[in-house]
Structure 1
Amino acid sequence: MLSALALVAGQATGLGELRLIGLAGMVALVIAVPFAVLPTRVDARLSVQPRHTTAGGRGLARLEVTNLLPAPLLHPTVRIPVEHRQTYLRLPLLRRGRPAAEEVDVPTERRGVVDIGPVWGTRADPLGLLRREQRWADPVEFYVRPRIVGLQPLPPGGLHDLEGVPSDQTSMTDLAFHALREYVPGDDLRHVHWRSSARAGELLVRQYHDTRRSHACVVVDDARDAYLDAEDFELALQAAASLIVRAGIDDYETALVCGVQQAFGDPGTLLDACCRAHLGGLGLLGAARQAMTLAPDTSLLVLITGRKGGVRADETLMRAAREFPAGVRTIAISVDRPDGELRVGIGELGGFTLTALDDLPAMLNGLARFGR
């Protein structure tokens, strides 16, 4: 447009300089047209390996681009949205069939799911007069999981199961052999250990360890009014993630419910659900009801909420626990500020207040020590 105006003005005024400027601009525009309109064929792939990290860890996305046309691409520019910011990369000269790769840093300061992409390739002339954007690659997701802390083995659950975790209670009707004892009237003769009885000169019967179903369910309160701020909710999810990882090590079948995020399966699936969790409106009681539907065979239940509600929070914890059968072992955790009240035991439940993630192992060990 300016070139045309310069030509017209130069022609009208007779100034050769204006005509020269207009002519130069028109020539530059003609040269720029092929750079912008010529077709572009590339094979572009955006990936993240691995697909997840822990909050505060390293996050990298990798872009690989291969030119599929005979003519080289002269240092194309690509635009990659990463969360709410735009990342621009200047690629090297792309010759046909020779892939080029670039890496992009991904923010991992906070837990969540980071959206990366799509990748937009820009065709432009050397002077930047004409530009054209094309979508080169689809977006990908990068999971930033909550920070976790190592825990001791979890306690067994409260109901029988043929492939459960042995408990510290004895039984006459289970599979984990414990010891021999003297026969008393009423014992099932099928449990008599005849060889030992012959050596001892009296009847001895087998006694077994009771076993427990290894089904753990972690329920996290997602109600906004349960926490003082978002940091308390993050601590609740960090505690949940730590328990999920420990449950996986202990071969528990594990479920997680936090608002609309409801998952059952391996620890990786549940940790990815933790990444998507956010404050909503289902609340602890509603989540417990959903958890009972999702994991009806639960034997170890963990309820996590905030302490903002005070006494009301304790009542909510107990009501949520009553959604499950009486034999289910329950651990209640309320998240509080460091200057809050520390205690072991929440109402009738075995539980404690948690002020920092690093305190979780000691608090769980203390809960086991006091037999709650």
Structure 2
Amino acid sequence: MNAVLTRSRLIGTRLTTTGVWMAIAAVCLVLAGAWADYPELVTLGLAAAGTLLVGALWLVATPKLTVVREIQPRRVFEGDAAQGALTVVNVGRRRTPPLMVTETVAGHHTVVPVPALAAGSECTVGYPLPVTRRGRYVIPPVRLGHSDPLRLVQRGRASGGEHVVHVLPRVHALALVVAGGPQDAEGPTVSSAPLGGAAFHGLREYEPGDDWRRIHWGATARTGTVMTRHVVVPDEPRQLIVFDTSAVPYPTPSMFEHAVRVAASFCVAAERAGLPFQLRTTVGAQRESGSTALEFLSTVARSADDRGLAGMLELLRDVVSSTQGVALTVVTGRADNAAAELFALVRPKFLSVGLAQLIASESGAISRPRGVLAAAGQSSEQFATNWNRLVQR
């Protein structure tokens, strides 16, 4: 449950805008009356100062409140809404004054009024959170504020704890290239595959906890060591998504945002197809599950120090040495001739290779390395359309 139950904590008392002007008027009146030997002005200034003092004393008795804050959901896609809900309970013996709830998100302040509460009563207020852009938002405790009847002095209280909301990149439906890598029970296997399947990989020594029904008695008799059948989940085509996070391929921030959405779309497509996948960036970061990959993509940024596709051979060194079938997809901007040569080198090592290019304009030919499924688009939506048309034809 995304709720934090807490009593409000005093964080400060300050003058409102009206109170500031009242304080300035009090000082000016006293000084002017003393300079002009005009006691009436001094009296008015002292009256203004006294009003401020009464307002401050009014706030000495702090209302006793219990606050429950909920934020739903904690993970949203771009364009979706996140909502906050604050339940305020008056646990004191006297009526509370009207309150102003201030929620701060990325420097943006949302103010929600809470009516006066009788002793023992409660009120729930909901409000939208301004989390529209991709990113990781740390939301501090809300601020509950109330003032004196003349609204000269205001006292604030922090309530609740910090919350984190991830705004994930918007995704599009993409078709995957899954050639090779059979998924039937008797498909190819590797020793690193998960245990518990039905595909026979080989024999190994018996270990405590192994199913005794898998003991291979013939091998046990020949070797003098208890041997058991090593059965695993058959090899499946793994999806490897490489995202170019260097600055050069993306002349504008919006083009990079579209590339982030394409990378996220490939991750979601693999997850929905039930295929294992891994996301790598050219700067070296790796994620291997849908939730962590999308959360990572919610904060990824261009890097001027990133070598981009120039370091792809080193980035893929451990993958191309594996015996497992891997389908490679690279997301970048417009690929140059050097990148095309790299694709020619790595193409024989993978089941399939896809190249997703985000381009500023359709003028000029896009890179189409031999044996590589290449598509391009000026936006993530246009790319998704072009890619699906290419894969499904």
Q: What TM-score comes out, normalization by structure 2 length?
A: 0.67
1:234 is aligned with what amino acid?
E
Distance of aligned partners of 1:71 and 1:160 in 2 relative to their CA distance in 1, 3 Å threshold: same
* SS at structure 2 position matched to 1:346: coil
Match of 1:360 in 2: 384
**Alignment match, 1:216:** 239
2:51 corresponds to 1:28: yes
Output the amino acid matched with 2:384: L
Q: Counterpart in 2 of 1:231?
A: 254
Does the 8 Å contact 1:123/1:131 carry over to 2? yes
Structure 2 residue 67 is matched with structure 1 residue 44: yes
Give the counterpart letter for 1:57 in structure 2. D
Amino acid at match of 2:67: A
Match of 2:59, SS state, is helix
Post-superposition CA distance 1:181-236 (Å, at most 9, x none) = xxxxxxxxxxxxxxxxxxxxxxxxxxxxxx75242221111101121212221221
Q: Which amino acid aligns with 1:73?
A: T
Q: Equivalent of 1:150, from 155, 173, 176?
A: 173
Aligned pairs for 1:303-342 (under 5 A) are: 303-307=330-334, 310-315=336-341, 321=346, 326-341=349-364
**CA-to-aligned-CA distance 1:325-358 (integer Å, 9 cap, x gap):** 8144321222213423465832453323333324
CA distance change for structure 1 residues 135 and 261 in 2, over 3 Å: closer, same or farther? farther
Letter in 2 for 1:36: L
Name 2:327's counterpart in structure 1.
300
The AA in structure 1 aligned to 2:271 is G
Equivalence map 1:271-290=2 (5 Å): 271-280=294-303, 281-282=305-306, 283-284=308-309, 286=311, 289=314
Mapped contact 1:220–1:287 kept (Cα < 8 A): no
Does structure 2 retain, via aligned residues, the 8 Å contact 1:53–1:59? yes
Q: State percent identity of aligned pairs.
A: 22
Structure 1 pair 304/4, CA: closer, same or farther in 2 (3 Å)? closer
Determine the C-alpha separation between the residues in 2 that align with 1:359 and 1:99: 51
Q: Distance in 1 between matches of 2:63 and 2:242?
A: 51
Structure 1 contact 74–94 (Cα < 8 Å) conserved:
yes
What is the CA–CA distance in structure 1 between the aligned matches of 2:102 and 2:265, rounded to whole Å? 37
- Quote the Cα distance in structure 1 between the aligned partners of 2:69 and 2:325: 40
Q: Is the 8 A contact 1:112 1:276 kept in 2?
A: yes
The answer to whether structure 1 residue 256 and structure 2 residue 279 are counterparts is: yes
Preserved contact between residue 43 and residue 68 of structure 1 (Cα < 8 Å) = yes
Q: Which moved more, 1:45-54 or 1:245-254?
A: 45-54
**Pair 222,3 (structure 1): closer, same or farther in 2 beyond 3 Å:** same
8 Å CA contact 1:54, 1:147 repeated in 2: yes
Among 102, 105, 111, which residue is 1:82 paired with?
A: 105
Where 2:298 maps in the other structure, the secondary structure is helix
Unaligned runs of at least 5 residues, structure 1: 166-173, 176-210
User: What is the letter of the counterpart of residue 363 of structure 1?
Assistant: W
Which residue number corresponds to residue 203 of structure 1? none
SS at match of 2:288: strand
Contact 2:331-2:355 within 8 A present in 1 as well: yes
SS state of the match for residue 368, structure 2?
Answer: strand
Find the aligned partners of 1:257 and 1:156 in 2 and give their Cα distance.
21
- Give the 3 Å change call, closer, same or farther, for CA 244–124 of structure 1 in structure 2: same
For 2:336, the aligned partner's letter is: G
- Counterpart of 1:314, as a letter, is A
- CA apart distance, 1:318: 5.4
CA distance in 2, matches of 1:368, 1:4: 79
Rounded to whole Å, the distance in 1 between the matches of 2:46 and 2:146 is 24
Q: Distance in 1 between matches of 2:312 and 2:146?
A: 51
Cα distance in structure 2, aligned partners of 1:161 and 1:292: 28
Is the 8 Å Cα contact of residues 332 and 351 (structure 1) preserved in structure 2? Answer: yes
Cα 1:161/1:35, change in 2 over 3 Å: farther
Using the alignment, how far apart are the partners of 2:264 and 2:77 within structure 1?
11
- Do the aligned residues in 2 keep the contact of 1:226 with 1:313 (CA within 8 Å)? no
Residues 299 and 21 of structure 1: CA distance in aligned 2, closer, same or farther (over 3 Å): same
Aligned equivalents of 1:225, 1:110: Cα separation in 2: 23
Deviation at 1:13, TM superposition (A): 7.0
TM-score, normalised to structure 1, is: 0.71
1:102-129 per-residue CA deviation (whole Å, 9 max, x = no partner) reads 3333345432233433312224322233
**CA apart distance, 1:74:** 0.9
> Aligned letter for 2:140?
G
Cα distance in structure 2, aligned partners of 1:290 and 1:94? 61
